[in-house]
Amino acid sequence: MLTKIPGSGEDPAIFSLDAPRLTAANSPAFRQEMADLISAGATRVVLDLSPVAFIDSTGLGSLVAILKQIGSRGDLAICGVQPGVQQMFKLTRMDRVFRIYPNLAAASAALESA
Amino acid sequence: MTTIVERNSFGEADRAAAPAAMRIVVADDDASQRHYQSALLRRMGYEPLVAENGGRALELLQGSDAAMMICDVDMPEMDGMTLARRVRALALGRYVYVLMITGHHSREDRLAGMEAGADDFMSKPVDASILALRVKAAERIIRYEAELQASRRGLQIAYETIRADIEAAAKAQRQLMPRERAHISSCRFSSRFLPSSEVSGDVFGYFPLGGDALGFYAADVCGHGVRAALSAVALAHLVTPEYFANNVFANDPQDPVSICTARLVAALDQRFLEASDDDSYFTFFGGILLEASDRMHFCQAGYPSPLLIRADGRTEWLGEGGMPVGMLPGASFDCQEVTFRPRDRLFVYSDGVVEAESPSGEPFGLDRLAAFVAKAPVSRSDALLDGLAARLRQWTASDLFEDDVSMILMEREGY
């Protein structure tokens, strides 16, 4: 489900979440993939959500769980937030919890300079 | 029905059959063939049941636990093909392995035999060592089949038990929900609770809080199904009117106006953060109405913004969002305030309403919801809720919702 952005380096690790929807159906797999990456050392992560049009409550839970797993060891930057997802982030105030950037370049730059 | 075990013609004494000697029906109109095959089988440790014709063979299969039948293809009255077909048509609850003895080595016979339901073939004259090999091979398949059947029965029983437990849980959960219609002081409540499966992660309540106050809340535990339902039930048990009042009203009885719905949500947040060790959380909307002053205080914690419909038909969405409950440590919650006058109505709904998707993947959305509610005739609460449920079913082209759906309509009566 996660695709490494071609030409991107290891730190920050830059991934695209290649699924039109993040829901109860695929959240466990996404969560596991991310958990493995983080355990393997990817603690500064850029996640591009451009392909994702819809996130349900379970999907949101998995994103927050990833943020918690990274914790103070690293950083998570999100970009490519679609309008429907943005609406959900706003309703749940996650727009203030996640570091959200308008595009991949801005997100990577923010983590690189950190 | 009596089961006849033919004495073997070699005069051997009946061996005390091993505890699980497989019973095999031997069907042949030729007595010498019957006796010969029976003797071979008995010597191999099996228990032959002999039938001189097809009808008798069927009787024996029905009256015993025989797992195999050896039958001659050429029999008067009922031939082997017909017999095999009749065996397959029996509802025995077990598999019967059919070994067909053909008179001649014909390909057509075997094809027809397979079509009729035979598993294997031997040609006459029956060779003792080949018969032994064939029956041994059959026994392996039969044992495997029996093991499969036993584990399937076990799964079936487990499934039925779980199913019954979930049905009982669903019934218990429905009993926790408030009545679909309630009249609390000057407010009429109507609600619908439509779980996506038997049990639901949605829960809501409305109750008087003493004096001129009444409280209401709606919560949606993330995910659905049994896990979400367990949390929802725990929440419903926790949020009693007493708990609600104790947390919303300030501790100082001299200061009755310092109402804070965020305090209630913060208490729940702390409680559920401590209790849960996984990714689960819930969204919540809680409010309190003070009728004397027409003031409504509310706290929105990630729950969809309710639609406020003024007496003159104007609508507004309540709240600007808020962190869900039990999600992240250090969350803060806001208590907001709005006027709620006679003939105003408040429509509270879970995200299952706006996220309901059409077959092409388009969500029902806030605009369609607002349009539907605004068009609905005033003071026909039940018609509005049932109409919206029907509209959602039409939108999703399905009778079952993918997510739990809760709808609460609260209306203040006119003076």
> Distance between the two ends of chain A, CA-based, in angstroms?
27
A2-106 CATH choice from 3.30.460.80, 3.30.1330.20, 3.30.70.600, 3.30.750.24? 3.30.750.24
Domain boundaries, chain B: 23-152, 177-412
For chain A, helix (H) and strand (E) counts, in that order, are 4, 7
Report how far residue A56's alpha carbon sits from residue B352's, in angstroms, rounded to the nearest whole number. 10
Looking at domain B177-412, its CATH class is alpha beta
Looking at chain B, which residue has its C-alpha nearest residue A67?
B328
- Taking an 8 Å cut-off on Cβ atoms, the answer to whether A58 and B220 are in contact is no
Contacting residues for B306 by C-beta, under 8 A, at least 6 apart: B285, B317, B318, B319, B346, B347, B348, B349
pLDDT tens by residue, B37-87:
999 999 999 999 999 999 999 999 999 999 999 999 989 889 999 999 999
Order of strands across the sheet that contains A75-79: A2-4, A13-17, A44-48, A75-79, A99-101
ipTM, two decimals, is 0.92
Domain boundaries, chain A: 2-106
pLDDT tens by residue, B229-262:
888 998 999 999 999 999 998 766 555 567 889 9
Q: Which of residues 10-29 of A touch B (CB under 8 A)?
A: 24
- Taking an 8 Å cut-off on Cβ atoms, the answer to whether A91 and B304 are in contact is yes
pLDDT tens by residue, B384-411:
999 999 999 999 998 888 888 999 999 9
pLDDT > 70: percent of chain B: 93
Report how far residue A85's alpha carbon sits from residue A22's, in angstroms, rounded to the nearest whole number. 10
pLDDT tens by residue, B206-235:
999 988 899 999 999 987 778 888 889 989
| Mean per-residue pLDDT, B153-168 | 91
* Residue B349 CB coordination number (10 Å): 25
Report how far residue B353's alpha carbon sits from residue B17's, in angstroms, rounded to the nearest whole number. 68
pLDDT tens by residue, B283-329:
999 999 999 999 999 999 999 999 999 999 899 999 999 999 999 99
Question: Which of B196, B197, B222, B360 to probe by mutation at the A interface, max A CB count within 10 Å?
Answer: B222
Say what the pLDDT of residue B247 is.
92
Partners of B220 on chain A (C-beta within 8 Å) are 57
| pLDDT beyond 60 at B93 | yes
Say what the pLDDT of residue B336 is.
94
Q: Are A94 and B328 in contact (CB under 8 A)?
A: no
Run of H or E residues at A57: helix A57-70
Q: Which two tokens stand for residue B348?
A: 């509270």
Partners of B404 on chain A (C-beta within 8 Å) are none
| pLDDT beyond 80 at B5 | no
Say what the pLDDT of residue B225 is.
76
Say what the pLDDT of residue B255 is.
59
Say what the pLDDT of residue B251 is.
64
| pLDDT beyond 60 at B4 | no
- Taking an 8 Å cut-off on Cβ atoms, the answer to whether B222 and A57 are in contact is yes
Confidence band for B12, pLDDT divided at 50, 70 and 90:
very low
| Alpha-carbon separation of residue B78 from A77, B30, B235, B298 (angstroms) | 79, 14, 69, 82
Q: For chain B, what is the mean pLDDT?
A: 89
Looking at chain B, which residue has its C-alpha nearest residue A28?
B279
- Taking an 8 Å cut-off on Cβ atoms, the answer to whether B363 and A62 are in contact is no
Q: For chain A, what is the mean pLDDT?
A: 91
Say what the pLDDT of residue B19 is.
53
Strand partners, B77: none
- Taking an 8 Å cut-off on Cβ atoms, the answer to whether B279 and A91 are in contact is no
pLDDT tens by residue, A21-72:
999 889 999 999 999 999 988 889 999 999 999 999 999 999 999 999 998 8
The Cα of A67 is separated from the nearest Cα of chain B by a number of Å equal to 10
Confidence band for B10, pLDDT divided at 50, 70 and 90:
very low
- The size of the A-B interface in CB pairs under 8 A is 49
The architecture CATH gives domain B23-152: 3-Layer(aba) Sandwich (3.40)
Q: Rounded to a whole number, what is the largest CA-CA distance in chain B? A: 107
Report how far residue A40's alpha carbon sits from residue A34's, in angstroms, rounded to the nearest whole number. 10
Contact residues of B toward A, CB < 8 A: 220, 222-224, 279-281, 283, 302, 304-305, 320-324, 327-328, 351, 355, 363, 403
Q: Is B163 helix (H, G, I), strand (E, B) or coil?
A: helix
